[in-house]
Amino acid sequence: MSAQTPRKRITTRDIAAMRQRGEAIAMLTAYDATMAALVEMAGVDMILVGDSLGNVVLGHDTTLPVTLDDMIRHAAAVKRGSARALLVCDMPFGSVTDPSTALANAVRVMKETGVEAVKVEGGLHMVPVVEQLIAHGIAVMAHIGLTPQAVHQMGGYYMHGKDETSAERLRQEARTLEAAGAFAIVLECVTPVLAAEITRSLAIPTIGIGSGKDCAGQVLVVNDLIGLNVNPPPSFARPRADVASVIKAAVGDYVSETKAVRGPIPLPRRAD
């Protein structure tokens, strides 16, 4: 294969094959074309256009204000910057309230962005939505455990599956969503022991975030990974770089140089 030959895009069948042969799946978020190209060059298997863009790009406290138009705009940009990774777009809060609404909105996402799959947050109550999307040819990644779109209903951000009632509910949700046709399931902030148990019980891959090392794959917010934040990242995210400091230093040098080289600029003389 020549260096100029584009690589084949990863598909849901490829992801399933990775799970079957025990190969770990690396997933990161991206919200624009440049970041999509960079994380893909580094070898990620899947890119999530996450509604976390509400926090890290748009400046909201939660993901709830993110709109379908926001997701479509950013997912389309990620598609333009990507050629290989499987692309998954979050369905934002309020866009999957019932199967018919979910289908109409997911069809719009697929048509207007070119992504390969959508992600739907929620457990048993989302099963009819997942089944409806699958029945109409849309690949679905499920998401259970901590679901940020339900942060107010849940009462905050915390680890899930600590007690047996919560653990059994998560087991049932994972099995049912797999049966409904989801090609993968995100486990967010699920106790590592339970996440490992759920992973072993499923044929489809689990993608962990804050759920330990024994899921079939992992996803992180790219800003947390590279240290591109003004606030500390979650405790489970270990930054591999400090991009924020690099940006601040570069901009500081630019500001100092600009002021030193170009100023003071005298005002024009006014005629008396």
Distances (CA, A) of 65 to 122, 210, 238, 252: 18, 23, 27, 33
Distances (CA, A) of 62 to 51, 53, 92, 176, 268: 9, 10, 11, 28, 50
- The CA radius of gyration of the chain, in Å to the nearest whole number, is 21
Residues flagged as binding site for Mg(2+): 51, 90, 121
Size of the chain in residues: 272
Determine whether 178 is an active site residue.
Answer: no
- Distance from C-alpha of 236 to C-alpha of 151, rounded to nearest angstrom: 18
Among 116, 173, 188, 257, the one annotated catalytic: 188
Buried b (16+ CB within 10 A) or exposed e, 89-104: bbbbbebbeebeebbe
**Binding site as annotated, residues:** 51-52, 90, 119, 121
> Which parts are annotated binding residues for 3-methyl-2-oxobutanoate?
51-52, 90, 119
Catalytic residues: 188
